[in-house]
Chain A
C-alpha cells in the first residue's frame, strides 16, 4: 500500500505556494527595504539603521503614535462601557428585557457599512456650515453656534473616536453578550438567594467571568485601532488635517510610501508599527493574566 500521508503535502501545497509569494516574501522584502533608501524606482542602497534612527527622532511619527492612541483609547473606553451596560441590562433576570435580537441588529448595523462610505458620510454631515448635524443640533437648541467639528484638532480627534464608537459598540455588545450567556445561571441564582444587589452581581460575578472575552475584545480592537487608516484618510484631506491631529501611524506609512516615494523609510515605519503592536498586545495580555498566575502559584 502506498503512503497516503504524502497526500498531506499536496493538500496544503496551494496554500503554501500562495502564502510564500504574496505574504511571506512581501514581509521579508519590506524588512530589507527598511534598511535601504529605496525610492520606488532605481536601485536601493543599503543604509543600515539610518531609517530606524530617523523614525525614533521623527516628531511626525511620534505625533502619529500619540494621535492613534488617543483616538483609539477614547473610543475603546466608551465602546466597552456602553457594551457592558447593555449586556447588564439584557442579562438582568429581574427586569427581563425583551427585543434583544432587534436591538442587537440595529446596534450592529453601523459596523457592516464600508468604512470609506462612513467617512464620506460623516465628512459632509459634520461640515461646519452646511452639515446636517450642526443644523439639527441648532434647531433643537442643544448648541447656539455651529461646532467646527473637523477643523479643530481636539474636536476632530473626538469626532473620529465617536464615529469609531458608533461603529463598534454593537460588535462589542454582541461579543460580551455571547460571553454572558456562557456563564452558568447557578452563579446568578446563588447570588439572588444570597441577596446580592445588581452592582454586586455585576462586579463579583459577571465581570471576573467575562475576563477572557474582554481580553479578546481589547486585543482585537487594539490591533485594529493601531491600523486606523480609512477614516482619517477620507474624513479630511488625507494627510491628517487639522494640524496633523488625524495623522495616524498607517496614514503616515501610506503617505511616506505612496505620496512622497520614501519607500525605505515607510518600510521602517511599518516595522516600527509592528513592534509597537506586539509590545502592547503583550502588555495587555500580561496585565490581565499575569496577576492570576501569581495568585495561582501562591495557592
Chain B
C-alpha cells in the first residue's frame, strides 16, 4: 500500500497556487482555511457521534438505576461498586470473559498453524488432484456459515460434543479463506530454491516447514490472526446453538443471557455489564489500531 503522504508531497498547494492562482492568492487562502475549519468541525462531530454511545455507556455504568431513570448527565455517579455487586449476583461476567478468551486464543493458534501447513502443501508440492481440491476449497469459501448450521448441530449431537468447547475450537483447523490468503502470500515470498537448499542440507520436510516457511509466512499469519481472533471473539450464533450451561457461555452469548436475567431490572448494572464486555476491546484497539487498519487495507487491495 502506498503511503498517502507521498501523494501529498508530490503536488503541494503552494506549488499549484504559484502555477495557477497567483493573483488571488491571499483571498483563496483565507477561503480555503475557512472551508478547512468547517470540514474539521464536521469531522469532529462525526467522531463524537461515533463515540457518544460508548460515553453514555461508561457514564451510566457508574450511576444508580434511579439516577438513570430521571435523566442523562455526563457527570459520573457513585454507584459503580453497587452496580457491580448487583450484576455479579446474577451473572458472572468474568467467567464469560475467560471462556471467550480460551476459545479465541485456541482458535487463532489452530487456524494460524494449520492454514500455514495447508497453504505450504498446496504451494510447494505437485500431486494428483491438487488443482481440483484447491478450486473446490475456493467454491466452499463462498458458502455462508449458516447454510450448514442445522447439520452442524445434528453432527455435534451425534458426536456427543454439544455443550462443550470442541465444536467451537476444532473446526478452526479448516479455514479456507486463511489458506487462500497464505498461499497467495507464500508463493510470492518464498523461493523454491530455499527449500531445495534445506533439503540438500538434510532437513526433513516438516522441519523445512517449521524453520524455513513459517518464519517467512509470519507477517501474513499475524494479519490473518487479528481477524480470526476478532471473528471468534464476536461469534454469536454458533455458541448460542451448541452451548447450554450458563457457566460455559462465551461473552456474546452471556450478553444475551444478561438481557433476559434479573440484572435487566437495574439499568446501571446492565450498562456496567456491557461496559465490561466492551472496554478491554477498546484498550486493545488503542495499541493495535494502526496495525488493524493496515491489515484491512491490505486485505481489500490484494484480492
Contact = CB atoms under 8 A, between A and B. Distances in A.
A250 B252 contact: no
Count class of interface residues, chain B: 35 or more
Given A11-B121, A23-B148, A23-B174, A125 B236 contact: no
B173 interface: yes
Contacts of B135: none
Q: Which of A22, A91, A113, A253 neighbours the largest number of chain B CB atoms within 10 Å of its CB?
A: A22
A18 interface: yes
A105 B289 contact: yes
Interface string B239-275: 0010000000001110110110000000100110010
B151 A213 contact: no
B293 interface: yes
A112 B50 contact: no
Contacts of B50: 106-107, 109-110, 166, 170
Contact of A114 (B13, B137, B277): B277
Interface string A10-26: 11101110110111111
A97 B5 CA distance: 11
A283 interface: no
Contacts of A179: 300-301
Contacts of B303: 216
Contact of A109 (B115, B230, B282): B282
A42 interface: no
B38 to A, nearest CB: 11
Given A24-B140, A112-B230, A114-B255, A263 B150 contact: yes
A117 B32 contact: no
Interface string A107-133: 111101111110111111100001011
Majority DSSP secondary structure for residues of A touching B: helix
Contacts of B8: 93, 96
B46 interface: yes
B149 A270 contact: yes
B148 A120 contact: no
B138 interface: no
B297 A175 contact: yes
A123 to B, nearest CB: 7
A32 B56 CA distance: 48
B255 A27 contact: no
B179 A234 contact: no
Contacts of A27: 143, 147-148, 151
Contact of B10 (A106, A166, A189): A189
B205 interface: yes
B158 to A, nearest CB: 10
Interface stretch (A54-62, A146-154, A223-231): A223-231
B289 A8 contact: no
A19 B252 contact: no
B121 A30 contact: no
A125 to B, nearest CB: 6
B10 A254 contact: no
Contacts of B152: 22, 26
Given A89-B39, A182-B301, A18 B174 contact: yes
Nearest to B148: A26
A267 B10 contact: no
B43 interface: yes
Contacts of B88: none
Contacts of B40: 97
A31 B152 CA distance: 12
B47 A116 contact: no
Given A97-B39, A116-B236, A106 B47 contact: yes
A132 B68 contact: yes
A293 interface: no
Contacts of B81: none
Contacts of A93: 7-8, 11-13, 16
Contacts of B1: 178, 181-182
A95 interface: yes
Contact of B133 (A16, A23, A125, A217): A16
A4 B39 CA distance: 62
Contacts of B233: 114
A97 B37 CA distance: 10
Nearest to A220: B300
B113 to A, nearest CB: 9
A55 to B, nearest CB: 14
Given A15-B118, A114-B277, A175-B297, A25 B155 contact: yes
B42 to A, nearest CB: 9
B255 A267 contact: no
Interface in B10-47: 10-13, 16, 19-20, 32, 35-36, 39-40, 43, 46-47
Given A125-B53, A193-B19, A267-B150, 5 more contacts: A29-B150, A106-B50, A120-B258, A177-B4, A182-B1
Interface of B: 1-4, 6-8, 10-13, 16, 19-20, 32, 35-36, 39-40, 43, 46-47, 49-51, 53-54, 56-57, 60, 68-69, 71-72, 114-115, 117-118, 120-122, 124-127, 130, 133, 137, 140, 142-155, 167, 170-171, 173-174, 176, 179, 199, 205, 209, 230, 233-234, 236-237, 241, 251-253, 255-256, 258-259, 267, 270-271, 274, 277-278, 281-282, 285, 289-290, 292-293, 296-298, 300-301, 303
The 8 closest A-B pairs by CB, nearest first: A11-B121, A8-B125, A29-B151, A26-B151, A178-B297, A26-B148, A19-B174, A30-B151
7 contacts: A25-B155, A93-B16, A182-B2, A185-B6, A189-B11, A257-B153, A270-B148
